[in-house]
Structure 1
Amino acid sequence: MDVSKWILRPRAPYAADPRRSRGRAVPQSPSATRTEYQRDRDRVLHSTAFRRLKHKTQVFVYHEGDHFRTRLTHTLEVAQIARSIARALGLDEDLAETVALAHDLGHAPFGHAGERALDARMAPYGGFDHNAQSLRVLTRLERRYAEFDGLNLTFEALEGVVKHNGPLVGEELTPAIVEVASRSGVPLEGHASAEAQAAAIADDIAYDAHDVDDGLRAGLFRLDELGDDPMLADILAEVDARYPGLDDDRRGHELVRRVITRLVEDAISESARRIEALAPRDIEDVRSAPQALIAFSPQMAEAERGVKRLLTARMYRHAHVDRVMAEAAGVLSDLFDRYFADRDALPAEWAREAGRGGETSHARAVADFIAGMTDGYALTQHRRLFDATPDLR
């Protein structure tokens, strides 16, 4: 399909319209200078949780090197890709950007290893899920405004965050998500807006590209080992044909930028095909569609899964990464156990929060406190409370 006609389109009828938002939990007067979704974006950018992403692990702990992605730089890359896809398809760029910027606010320190550690400790109390935790941050834990807790984002922004991975069914319907979503008034069935779907697929694109880049930089694999994956091998052959004799650093960067381009162009083309087939009249048609509107083609979806399989084998399960993440998970497990057993070990404001209810409220307050930590702060607290703390290198 010719993608050119989809570039720089005016806002489509199926796009989220800030003038027709379902509104906010606490009604507020409109801004004289910004749309509702622009206000959402700005509130996320100015939040404490967003700043903390600077020192939260993506794959490598923040002190392992200045050039590796952090949760913050990953988020910014997702936002850029989400805006590009939204612009090409006539969607609201500001809502797509908002969901992209907010989607990882609930991540614990040390990436998915930290999430698994907290989920294990919280299993008797509803579990821990970073999507649900992002919604807790946005609706309760950020305390900046005089009139409400959280950021009081629009319904569409909250829906996009909680449905970041699509409609919530099966194992994804965790007790933590059910509890937070029901309190926030976000229905769990159906798709989120096309803008939220653009942010979700942008997350996959950013992961694939920057983890290849970071894995090469860390020496976890070499460029010639990427030839095991058909798409990466094809792109490397394309680079080598155009730039014979290019040094490996530049070959790697050319590979990464072409991975992004291929995935983005395919997502736009396949999404355009689905839009033409469905002919959605408004955002409700997007929500009730039988399948996601923003997606890769079947061939590219399989190619993208192949890249993830390669990264899982060569990077996420690499002996060095496994060892560091196991030690990091132990740090958070230690902290949870100490704070849960001894409320006085918590800072005063969190000790008060933990004491407001029963055992479940206590556990949730401990999880909220730990989830909000940066990697460095978690290590500092562990050194304060325990005789030995792993170096995580």
Structure 2
Amino acid sequence: MKFPLYFSRKIAFSKDNKNNLSRVIIVIGRLSVAIGIIVSLITISTGYGSKKAIKERLADFNGHINVKSTRSNSSYNTSVLDNNGLNIKKITEIPEVSGVQKYATVTGIMRTEKDFAGIIFKGVGTDFDSLRFKKFLLEGIAPKVTEKGYYNGVTISQKLAADLHLKLHDSIVTVFSKADQQPIYRNFEVVGIYKTDIKMIDDQMVLGGINHVRKIQDMKPDEIGGLDIFFKNVNDIDKPHPEIEKFIGYKNFIETATEKYPQITDWISIFDVNIALIIVIMLIVVIINIIMVLLILIIERTNSIGLLKTLGATNSQIRATFINYTLIIMVPGLVFGNAVGLTLLFIQRFFGIIKLNPANYYVSTVPVDLDPLPIISISVGILIISGLALIIPSYLISKISPVKAIKYN
């Protein structure tokens, strides 16, 4: 074992430390490290957890990416997908893709005798992923569409149900307008009520059978308005998709879930700034405290430094000894901080104690992401950065004269 590491361990575990000034300094240093770790863990886990949860909600409801016709532009009334070059089977065979479902949308108005609400009617087919949608259901069922005929059940949001005073199995009249034609009336039965906590979806989206949209939009029985494509990994949303673009046709385009709701994307991007800012502040606090611990330990052990120099130890060896000593002091703080931080995160993850207003945060409870990589990186990063930060103040040791140090009291 090298001398600096051996001697620093001897000092760190010496019983003399329990009865001198360094005991208080060590406690303060460890406490600052623990607090820094706890705050950093909570910030990263909840920050990235919120980003992931919001993206997953957007993606699981509308697909990670959508394939739309270039004629649709930003209209809620989808245009028919161009079949020239479109190969749905090839898209489903791409390894990153977990599922594909067809849809078409049209705008309308749901009305009762006293209330009305503008809606986007999303018609889905027999390939609709009801298992993925199940997480949003509060009551009833997801649309169970048949290949032929018209499915008259609709699944509406809790917000629409409250605004229109609807409950399961109620009937609701929906009006669809067409240019230069009489309005089209449809009578639907409420078969399900869902909630995503995303205002732009809950305020207006209604799920029903795709054949209704085909009829209203004068589409042929095999025509569709778009494709919802789901990935195995939600982080693939914002990546380029050249493999998928090969099979969508020249007159169709890809729109990601985050592009579809840019206001939510802009809000999510704030998390990165906040996370970085908090981590930097905590790191600065920890480094300042650890540097103070090192300087006080050097001053307190001036006699020992002088003795080591007299016995032939070099300045670099003594500096390494005190840097190692300080880093060893940090370890209990790291362990305690991780233990407390992870305990709090696990409690929130499984019990959802802290609630949020979904109107402002798009989620009803604080989400937690327990990815081990950032959790480990925080502790390792603090240790490495602290070790580097201690190098410059440790040069104070080279200014200590052995003769004066031995006389120092």
Normalised by the length of structure 2, the TM-score is 0.20
Q: Which has the higher strand share?
A: 2
Normalised by the length of structure 1, the TM-score is 0.21
Q: Which has the higher helix share?
A: 1
Greater length-normalized contact order (CA 8 Å, ≥ 6 residues apart): 2
